[in-house]
Structure 1
Amino acid sequence: MYSWTSRVRPVVRHITGCLRCYSSATSGRQHGPLRILFCGADEFSIYSLRALDAFQKRQPGKIDSISVVCRPDKRVGRGLKKVQEVPIKSVATELGLRLHQIDTFTLWSPPDPIDLILTASFGLKVPSRILNMAQYGGLNVHPSILPDLRGPSPIQYALLKRKSHTGVTIQTMHPTKFDHGKLVLQTPRPGVPITERATPHELLHSLGPIGAELLCDTIDKGLFIEPIRDLNMDEPVEGLSHAPKITPEDRHIDWTKWSADEIQLRDRVLGRLWDMTTYKNCGIMGDSLNFKRTTFHGPWSLSGRSENVPTLPGTPRLTSAEGGVAANQLALNTIDGKTIIPSNATIEGGRKGAGLPTLIAHLQKQGVE
């Protein structure tokens, strides 16, 4: 059953009310029952898929059928013993929708005629060959107010860039580029407020219902039918940011530049921050190069103790817990002169989450405080 939380529903109602000014000029465009090919993957796309299924049941004259495309199951974990499914697969099965699992569009074509292709957090570029098979081309549900945060990681970068607001855009699918189609419908600026210390999970579940609502509104009003009114205004928009793919280097702590606040932010948004210096700086010997990756587990906490801290950022030392006596916590100094403490750590090649005792023991041997 498709439902929204009471926290999100009022925001959606307000936004869709504001959208009438965008869509009034093209409202009421008629089209026959659509045969839809929906391409998705994660929870964000699941919101749209469930909304489409509910919309079809309410208005079968608008949607004839929905088929789903997602990536294949993959083996993960140690020994590749665990099979990981794309989250949308089980939802498509639950709804009784026809499912296609592909890792590339090369040599693949929809087995049945289609009228409209929809994508949301899919990850693969739908080629022009497939788009040309659909009478109305394709639409993408993008979790940002385009052209801001164009790219594959808009939710993460909305947080990393400390944006105060974000939103969702329905855009046509460009035949050769990601996020370069016409803007059909979107949340009006300034958009949806981003709460303090929001996580990607929380922001996804705020934007998912809004994207679902906009997508159904687009289909209901036939806004995808040419001529399409492009909302992308000619005048430049100030303060635009790009949202490239998140890579392991985005988690690599730069002790010479990152403040304590930046470390806590990146831990909250990306998790699994790491460096190549802590292991060596703790004086652990016995390795030929004495370099191993240390992956830190959050949340990180700030030390509120008044202590003489080393001037070199990233230098590990020991500190005592609040109210404690023994120096039994690993602490690192940041570029802004603060002391930050990870919850745990994993040393490369070691057992997950078992790294802190090893690091602390070697610091104690050196008499480091």
Structure 2
Amino acid sequence: MPKLRVVFMGTPDFSVPTLSEIVCAGHDVAAVYTQPPRPAGRGMGLRPSPVQKFADEAGIPVYTPRNFRNPESVAELAALQADVAVVVAYGLILPRRVLDTPAYGCLNLHASLLPRWRGAAPIQRAIMAGDTETGVTVMQMDEGMDTGPICMMERIPIGPDMTAGELHDELAFVGASLMGKALDRLARGELECRPQPDEGVTYAPKITKEEARIHWENPAQEVHDRIRAMSPFPGAWFEALLGGRPERVKVLRSVCVKGRGEPGQLLDNQLTVACGNQAVRLTKVQRAGKRPMSGVDFLRGFPLGKGTHFG
């Protein structure tokens, strides 16, 4: 099997399985591009990205440009003489001069079935919309936002209680395997890409802080979908009066159940809360600075009576 000279561009945990797949397949990874180290932790020390950590351990040269607006960054990339760049959740916009630098351009792994859910938060948006299926797409990058030709695609189901964290992990590994197959086809001269259809285009903008707040007046299914779309981060939340003080409580897991009451009303000792129609049972919650706990354990610590209203 012919091997390719690859430049890899990625930053978060989602990117690491694909980089690992490329290394294990024996391709020549000339360099890794990733976001610069960021302040993190209590001491706010600079912390390298998960991709940089992997690259450092594998002995792969790492580049962390803040952008590609200066000619030096583009010349540096060109000097690597890559056959292809593989881009997975990099976090920087790539101008045309960068897209055209590798001999075969740039292949991007996107966590949706394009053209559905173009944009920054396809995993969360798919769950929030109640989609029962999603997948990963390998596409040839152009200057648009996830608008390039589709090369390969793989579908997976979204379970009714699957969280964004669970879907993220599954898509990361399915996507790594798919990109490996795409590179094999490219190396053999057999990778074919087709334009995206004009029908079915939707967009997945970043999740805002306000979107994480639970609105109990919505139907139970919508509340449940929002909770799992926000789990584990940023975490859907509601406000409760605990120890005489209002406090935000994150909800990490829930189930839809039968129940009736005023929206936001506590219906029983299992942390079942009424919604606009039916109810949701909050099965895993987390107070600020505390470990996650079951809804039942939460009520043991704060014996809120039936009929308590959550704002």
Q: TM-score, normalised on structure 2?
A: 0.76
- Find the partner of 1:246 among 204, 207, 213: 207
Equivalent position to 1:153, from 121, 145, 153:
121
Change in Cα spacing, 1:195 to 1:136, as seen in structure 2 (3 Å) is: same
Q: Hey, what does 2:177 align to over in structure 1?
A: 213
Query: How does 1:1-369 map onto structure 2 within 5 Å?
Result: 34-56=4-26, 63-78=27-42, 80-81=43-44, 83-107=46-70, 108-109=73-74, 110=76, 112-115=79-82, 116-174=84-142, 176-187=143-154, 191-222=155-186, 229-232=192-195, 236-237=198-199, 239-256=200-217, 258-271=218-231, 272-275=235-238, 278=240, 294-300=248-254, 309=261, 311=262, 313-314=263-264, 321=269, 332-338=273-279, 340-341=281-282, 343-344=284-285, 346=287
Q: Which has the larger radius of gyration?
A: 1
Distance verdict in 2 for CA 1:77–1:336, change over 3 Å: farther
The Cα offsets for residues 341-363 of structure 1, whole Å up to 9 and x where unpaired, read as 5755647xxx6579x78x958x7
- Identity of matched residues, %: 25
Report the aligned-residue RMSD. 3.7
Give yes or no for contact 1:185–1:231 (8 Å, CA) kept in 2. no
CA contact (8 A) 1:345 1:352 kept: yes
Q: Which runs of 5+ in 1 are unaligned?
A: 1-27, 57-62, 286-291, 323-328
Cα gap change, 1:298 to 1:180, in 2 (>3 Å)? closer
Letter in 1 for 2:279: K
2:24 is matched by which residue type in structure 1? A
Aligned partners of 1:152 and 1:224: how far apart in 2? 32
Q: 1:93, CA displacement in angstroms?
A: 1.8
In 2: Cα distance, 1:345 partner to 1:205 partner: 22
Q: Deviations over 1:151-206 (max 9, x none)?
A: 122222232222222222111111x322111112223xxx2223332223332333
- 1:169 to 1:339, Cα distance in 2 relative to 1, 3 A: closer
Distance 2:115 2:188 in 1: 19
- Whether contact under 8 Å (1:35, 1:65) holds in the other structure is yes
- Aligned to 2:25, what secondary structure does the other structure show? helix
Q: Is the 8 A contact 2:35 2:91 kept in 1?
A: no
Counterpart Cα distance in 2 of 1:132 and 1:233: 20
TM-score, length basis structure 1 = 0.66
Aligned letter for 1:336? Answer: N
Give the length in aligned residue pairs: 294
Distance 1:297 1:192, change over 3 A: closer
